[in-house]
Every structure is written in C-alpha cells, then in structure tokens.
C-alpha cells in the first residue's frame, strides 16, 4: 500500500513498504510550469540520429573544438555597468586631441594596450597621457655599534642569578 503526502513547496512524499516490510520514502517534485526544454533540438541530440547521419555522410556534426572555458568572473560587473564603463572610456578617448587619437588608429583599445606596458611610460609622459613617477628617495640607514654594558650592570646581573 502506498501513501502520499503533498507539501506546500510542491514536493510529494510517497511512502511504501518493500518486500521485507521496511517503509521507504520517495520525494518527488511536482512541476506544473511550462517546460524550458527545446523539443525542436531533440533529433540533433539523439545519438542514433547522429550515428545514422554519420553512416550516410561519413561526417560527424561540427563540435566545439576549443572545449569549455573556466574563469573567475566574480569581479565582472553586470552588463549595464560594463557598458557604462566602455562608454565613459570611449568619451574620454574622443576628448583627446586628434593627433593623439590618430597615433592609436582611433582605437581606445590600442591606446589602453600601449598604456598598460611600463616600457611605454616615457612616451606616454611626452604625449601627456601619464605623469612621470618621481623616484623615491632612498632611506639612509646608519648602523651603530651596540654600547658595552657597564661593569656595575654586569655585577648586578650576576647577583640576581
């Protein structure tokens, strides 16, 4: 005999006894929403269909050659923020004098690549795109010898021990 209990979260708990008389429970989810599965793609995903097509043509369907990509995208902003950043970068680039924009082929991407290379800092300073970094003054360190302890101090330590 099977008993069924429907919970408010859409789960169904069914209980039944196995051949040894032990009560077992099975939890199912009721989904009454429309399916998101694209049934039109079913044939292309069917291995029998793929193999039949291979036997006829000698070719397998084109598969992604590069495989998956795994990235840490936790620092990536949402699309609206990313587009705003790109728009601001384009506006800042467009505000530069024409001869500077022309030097980078009117491409903010090429200019960004140029500015990202530390070897280009002197030229970037000449173009007015960066400020020269003043070298830090070195810290002068002076080493002094440790002063010898007085005889009185040495005697006091001996008497304590």
Q: For residue range 55-107, what is the model confidence (pLDDT) as tens digits?
A: 998 887 776 566 667 778 788 888 898 899 889 989 999 999 999 999 999 99
Structure tokens at 106: 């009117």
Assessment of whether the complete model's pTM goes beyond 0.85 = no
Q: Is residue 58 part of a domain?
A: no
Q: Is residue 50 part of a domain?
A: no
Distance from the Cα of residue 85 to its chain's centroid: 18
Q: How far is CA 101 from CA 4, 123, 130, 154, in A?
A: 72, 14, 15, 76
Q: Is residue 150 part of a domain?
A: no
Structure tokens at 63: 């598969």
Q: Is residue 88 part of a domain?
A: yes
CA gap 76, 83 in Å, rounded? 12
Q: Is residue 63 part of a domain?
A: no
The structural domain count of the chain equals 2
Look up the domain containing 3 and give its range.
1-30
Q: Is residue 24 part of a domain?
A: yes
Q: Is residue 139 part of a domain?
A: no
Helix (H) or strand (E) holding 27: strand 23-29
Q: Is residue 110 part of a domain?
A: yes
């Amino acid at each position: 005999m099977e008993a069924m209990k429907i919970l408010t979260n859409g789960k169904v708990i069914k209980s039944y006894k196995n051949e040894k008389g032990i009560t077992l429970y099975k939890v199912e989810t009721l989904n009454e929403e429309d399916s998101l599965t694209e049934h039109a793609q079913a044939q292309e995903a069917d291995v029998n269909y793929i193999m039949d097509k291979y036997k006829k043509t000698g070719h397998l369907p084109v598969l992604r050659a590069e495989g998956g990509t795994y990235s840490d995208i936790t620092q990536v902003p949402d699309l609206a923020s990313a587009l705003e950043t790109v728009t601001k970068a384009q506006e800042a680039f467009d505000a530069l004098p024409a001869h500077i924009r022309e030097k980078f082929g009117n491409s903010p991407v090429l200019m960004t690549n140029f500015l990202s290379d530390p070897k280009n800092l002197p030229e970037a300073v000449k173009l007015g795109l960066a400020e020269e970094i003043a070298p830090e003054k070195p810290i002068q360190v002076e080493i002094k010898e440790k002063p010898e302890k007085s005889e009185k101090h040495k005697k006091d330590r001996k008497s304590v021990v």
